[in-house]
Structure 1
């Protein structure tokens, strides 16, 4: 989930600072091209991440997500032209979340206001302290008869240098623009033009930048979002993710059929740790993989309080890179959480790639791309890159749920 960071805003009065945060949190838009059910699924993930932030003590992050959730489902989603197609049980579940969140958000609001008051009082005390120091320095210099360092004003009175304020406009708040778009279940990719080697065996170091675009694969994903990220938190990937997934996909791989899975876990000490891998029911071909019964995934995550950290899929006969449709598949993951990764396993070439969309170019480009079906994307500047915020852990535990056998 995108992490919200505010620059130092202690010089803004508490009520105004809170107002700025609320105004930002209310900027949620609904795209009529996106099925409303996707927004409801995205909402589950938003609440899950907000709860994680709350438990970690990141109150601003939690508050922003709670407000976006409330804005989306109390107001914006009702204007969707297909709102009436959302199943009654899905709406009922959403209403339960709203009733749970409303008092929590109000409590957070008061906590933040108290925090902002403390920040503002600390700022005023610091300003006074600096002013007092300057006054004392002026008096000491006057006593010594050294007035050469003091600057006379137009009125013949020695003036004190002004104290620069800390930047405090809303432009100094570093936020992504919106979290109204949807994390979608992976739909891996189709055969590309002649391959170029990408990635190294379960490592992210020294991997050449991918230059291929497997542009011939359909997609039903339509997203509209902008995002710019500064610093990505570390993602811990157990080495078992790759070894177990490829073993589970082996039967499909021998038949030249793609396999996909969802990577979930927890946020702990500002690191995202993959603890569970879910392989959903799916239908695969040589160039696609369609997940089924997605509700099973969401139910399992709810039961175990797991956040979505990324996805994984195979390229049975091709190298490890992101095709054009892989880019569209991954985009909603990264919009919701900038650290979200896409892992591509290439058994034939014995390589694994760990990728993200380039934050400054690839992410907004794909988010605003409306094309579907087989379509090419430009490759310069690159739309995706190696995920260098990944760390492979040899002994990290991993739980695997294979819903195909359920």
Structure 2
């Protein structure tokens, strides 16, 4: 294989045929990549992905991998070095601060606020009209919630959301780097302001928690940036992908219309069927290891693909079928092991409340354009729609 299969234009529109072909050939295989010319190992099988997610020989410390290697990238330090790009003990310190923000009790407290945000957004929707599910619900809902959680002023939220979207652009590294600096610089200003004028707002609370947890100023900014970016980008795609999957499977949509109480139980299958995280963030081998019968030498990038693993027939028979009765709890859309997404409970709550409101208020909703004409974001890391026009 001489070309990166994850950069083919067809991959962005529908990665699953590519994943199936690669997995059938070998669930762990070496591929060329466009990231600095480094070959990488891609993991597409479900048992192999679970194993790799928990193998301590696969490091997430990107600075360690790229040290001494030539690079033309210019990411802001808050984006380049964060909890997702670290190993214990640094990762443990960050996670100890982040996890309490997303406990079951904390998310339960946020549910009335999430409901109000959904109500406010849908108040402008009128039967007989068209809306863009992405722009009119899937983007503003998680952006509003995570910015409320962090205490980001309302006047800053639209700009931060736009920079976050730019950060996932797989086709323009200069745009990605510039967005990282805009986010990092802006959050540095907010953190410095909160530290200079102590108060009782959410960001003041986060700063105190970071101080008590042993995080310095730069680490506090990096954690705030990660919570902001991860807290809305993937949830946006979760909601958009779920609604599109239901529109393409009207029998499943009809079940939720008839009984909206089935929505919470449908979330795992919707996450499995079209994962908002297609390829997990960067890992590299620090020692020689063997995964799925394949030898991976030390010093190589390793890409774990939850989007592929979730369609592995060895784990989920008939994986290309959306089946709301399936036990899909073993999906890997939130990762696995110590790096499993701490914000999963919040993402599930937002998607549940949004989907329940949609099927209750607009039971006759349909796609306003042919599904084949939809445009997907050009990023291999996440999978999400640029827009999803709906006829109410």
Tell me the TM-score normalized by structure 1: 0.25
Structure with the bigger percentage of helix: 2
Does 1 or 2 have the higher relative contact order (CA < 8 Å, sep 6+)?
Answer: 2
Structure with the bigger percentage of strand: 1
